[in-house]
A and B are shown apart, each in its own frame.
Chain A
Amino acid sequence: MTGQARGSGLLAMGIGSSLLALRLSPIAYRLLPIFITLFALPAAAAAETPEKVYVVNDYRYVPANVSDDRDTGLSLCGTRCNALTTDFLNITEVGGWQLMKGAVNTEVTVELNSPFIKGQCICVADEYLVKIDDRYSEERRRPGKRK
């Protein structure tokens, strides 16, 4: 039911900017990293470093001491790694941003950071770079403000 009327928010014509959200096909996702490495990096390096976000697929707990409770540690690593994960729709739905897939199933190590139990969490995550989607940004479209 929803989805079909996306972006046409009647009251809010021009508000529902979700139309701008760019959805990449899986192939585009695969090709993009190559593309970025070849062409975009020098430019990106000059600008702000793009934010990196993760979508966590799995996690492990590495206890600090043999006596550490592994089950609870693992469960807390679930929360910890989840805190790292991003609901990517909440980046792309607003419009003007796109995600470019980086490493797949990369291991991100974070301190468990619990007052009760020590150790580390290994979050197995897909990595994405958040990029301003220039083609759709307002500045570019606004006449008289061409760069």
Chain B
Amino acid sequence: MKRTAIRDQLSAISGQRSARNFWRLTVLLFTHYSLLITAVILLPFTAHSADDRNALLAGMDQAEILRLGERIYREGILPDGKPLPGYVSGDVPVDGTAFTCVSCHLRSGLGSFEGNVVTPPTNGRILYQPREPFIKGSEFIPYIHNYAVYLPVRPAYTYETLAALISTGFDPTGRSVVSVMPRYEMSARDMAILIAYLDTLSDKPSPGVDKSEIKFATVIVEGTDPSAVRSMLTPIEFGIDRKNSLAVAASKNPRVALMSYNMSGNLTDIKFSLSRWVLKGPSTTWKQQLENYYKTEPVFALLGGITNGDWEPVHRFCEEKGIPDLFPIVDYPVISQKDWYTLYPSRGVRQEGEAAARYLHSMYDLFKGRSIVQIIRADRRAEALARGFRETWAETGHPPAEDIILAKGEKLTAEKLQQIVAKEKPAALLVWDDASLLPAVSSLVGKPDKPGLVIASGTYLGKSLWAVPEEVREFLYMTYPYRLPQDDARYDKAAKRVLAGKPINLFDPVIIRQSYLTNEILGKALLEMRGEYYRDFLLDTIGMMADQYFPLYERVSFGPGQRYASKGCFMVQLGKGKSPKLVRRSEWVTQ
């Protein structure tokens, strides 16, 4: 699709996939240099020996060693705070903080393979074993098998040969890797610290996993609407039941086993379980409740989860314990650039406010100094919408919008809205409120100071979105963070399948579709994990996935460290007539 020219116009945002593209470019760049390899002059390399290693690390606390090692691995920063110097072919210096180990070998250290670009694991457990021409037990699984095809066999590393690979770029067979990976210069002590860290990467089995079972749990905040809870649980339980019946069928029938073996490696034999962790009482007590659940039942990961309010304590708990949580259903996710363990379906309610800001940004010049006003109902949803708008708007550098917050419990009346409009004469008005905004906005029709456009939240209006009065449709724009209903209908059949025959009207239509995502992504990820069920690798694997198309969101995308799967939102208007359709006024505006 040649949409580049158009994409450029949406000036604000790009780069969702930049991390991965950067990575690919890097590899290409190195490959380009590869002809020069022969010209590389071997630097005299410091002998790193295992005996020295103990002496070098003597007196250092193990936790401190790992903290420093992690910093070298993830940030390219040496223990003394200086950047790690790296060199590519021809001894061209590169910045080790840009060419971090983690950017290629991923957080789990288990590497990746995409097409024919293979980054091998760099964790001790695998490095200290010889590399065979195939991964044992997976000889017949094409996409796992390929992994080995692209890399030659090598003997097991020792501490010395590993240090040599990192500092000179030569592997134990004498083959140079500098065409695809920099070599790094560091002191013998820093090398010992880095290797000590590599030794711990994806080393001990993740909790909740053994040869016969992977344990999952889902967190349910008490007081959440039962139909919402059911909608979250049903698709996930469906997936788990299907998976387990496959495991049973495979154990009884060797032909099924063979078939599914080809498909999913050793996963066939493994059963899944899903526990429900119900959180009660004030959110300040949740941490302790979670600790207790976890102590009696350590799980590999959390699947879904649901609340109609707070989620932060669960998010924090997952960060602290290193437990992945795939797609909890929450309106107010924790927004963070660096947190790792919780993957959210989207940025929640605030994403609509953000989209509104980007949309208005595109026409700001036409406002000719007239203001933008946000009217905000005094509740959490409206405040999240307003915050999303405010923060994104601030990034555009335009003067801030005028915020008018209604009193607690106050509803916007026609009279109040007219006063505001007469006083502020805004070019654009954002009203973050539910359907009660409609009569007030209707009253602006024909008024001299009527703003050019009024923006409201499609999800906050809920079903009333279909009841926008005809005379308002022409100037009321709504944020709509899903695929339009007429288009999503194509996916209905898929969405219904996870309900295993139960009537769809028993469920919340949005939540079953969000939960569908959990089910699909987990399935795809586990298949690609080639038997390495490590928590960080689960998230690494999802981070390497291409864009996906499922019910509900126009598309979901992933990338290393990206934590909000759906990044877009439409601006829509309600069309004319008795049974109107939503009409797009923007593309899937992404962050």
- Point out residues on A near B: beta carbons under 8 Å: 1-5, 8-18, 55-59, 69, 71-72, 75-76, 78-85, 87-91, 93-97, 113-117, 138
* Bound: A11/B267 CA distance, A: 11
Contact B497 A5 (CB under 8 A): no
Q: How far is the CA of A80 from the CA of B251 in the complex (A)?
A: 56
The reply to whether B9 and A75 contact each other, CB–CB distance below 8 Å, is yes
Asked if B151 is at the interface of the complex by the 8 Å CB criterion, the answer is no
A56 touches B545 (CB 8 A): no
In the assembled complex, 29 residue pairs joining A and B whose CB atoms fall closer than 8 Å, in A order, are A1-B545, A3-B546, A8-B264, A8-B527, A10-B523, A11-B239, A11-B242, A11-B243, A11-B523, A11-B526, A12-B238, A16-B520, A17-B493, A56-B3, A72-B363, A75-B362, A76-B363, A79-B585, A81-B6, A82-B587, A89-B549, A89-B555, A90-B549, A93-B548, A94-B491, A95-B494, A113-B585, A115-B452, A116-B366
- Residue with the highest number of chain B CB atoms closer than 10 Å, among A9, A55, A69: A9
Determine the distance from Cα of A113 to Cα of B555 in the docked complex, in whole angstroms: 27
Q: Are A11 and B522 in contact (CB under 8 A)?
A: yes
- Give B residues with C-beta under 8 Å from A: 1-3, 5-6, 8-10, 112-114, 142-143, 238-240, 242-243, 246, 263-264, 267, 272, 359, 362-363, 365-367, 427, 452-453, 475, 483, 487, 490-491, 493-494, 497-498, 516, 519-520, 522-524, 526-528, 541, 544-549, 554-555, 570-571, 584-588
The answer to whether A1 and B112 touch (CB under 8 A), given A10-B267, A82-B587, A93-B549, is yes
Chain A residue at minimal CB-CB distance from B486: A51
Contact of A10 among B264, B494, B555, B587 (CB under 8 A): B264
Q: Cβ of B519 and Cβ of A90 under 8 Å apart?
A: no
Contact B544 A1 (CB under 8 A): yes
B527 & A5 in contact (Cβ 8 Å cutoff): yes
| CA A78 to CA B527, docked complex, whole Å | 40
Residues of chain B within 8 A (CB-CB) of A97 are 490
Q: Given A12-B242, A85-B587, A87-B555 in contact, is the A1-B113 Cβ separation under 8 Å?
A: yes
User: Is B584 a contact partner of A83 (Cβ separation < 8 A)?
Assistant: yes
Question: For residue B239, which residues in chain A have a CB less than 8 angstroms away from its CB?
Answer: 11-12, 15
Q: With A72-B365, A90-B554 as known contacts, state yes or no: A85 contacts B3, CB within 8 Å.
A: yes
Contact call B494/A15, Cβ cutoff below 8 A: yes
Cross-chain contact A59 with B6 (CB below 8 angstroms): yes
A84: B residues at CB distance < 8 A: 584
Asked if B546 and A2 sit within 8 Å, CB to CB, the answer is yes
In the complex the two chains form, is B363's CB within 8 Å of A82's CB? no
Which residue of B is nearest A51, CB measured? B486
Cα distance, A78 to B362, chains bound together (Å): 10
Cα of A81 to Cα of B584 in the assembled complex, Å: 10
Q: Which residues of B contact A83 (CB under 8 A)?
A: 570-571, 584-587
Closest chain B residue, CB of each to CB of A117: B366
Bound-state Cα–Cα, A18 to B523, Å: 14
Chain B residues with CB under 8 A of A89: 547, 549, 555
Interface contact B554-A114, CB-CB below 8 Å: no
Q: Which residues of B contact A90 (CB under 8 A)?
A: 483, 487, 549, 554-555
Given contacts A5-B527, A10-B523, A17-B494, contact A114 B545 (CB under 8 A): no
Known contacts A79-B359, A89-B555, A116-B367; A12/B9 CB under 8 A: no
Q: Is the beta-carbon distance between B528 and A1 smaller than 8 angstroms?
A: yes
Contacts of B243 in A (CB 8 A): 10-11
Q: Judge whether B549 and A12 touch: CB under 8 Å.
A: no
Other-chain contact of A2, B5, B452, B544 (Cβ < 8 Å): B544
Which 10 pairs across A and B sit closest by C-beta, in order of nearness? A78-B9, A115-B452, A11-B239, A93-B549, A82-B587, A11-B523, A116-B366, A4-B143, A9-B523, A83-B584
Write out the residue numbers on chain A whose beta carbons fall within 8 Å of the beta carbon of B453: 115
Q: How far is the CA of A69 from the CA of B493 in the complex (A)?
A: 47
* B209 to A: closest C-beta gap in Å: 16
Taking CB atoms, residues of chain A closer than 8 Å to B548 are 2, 93
Closest to B568 in A: A87
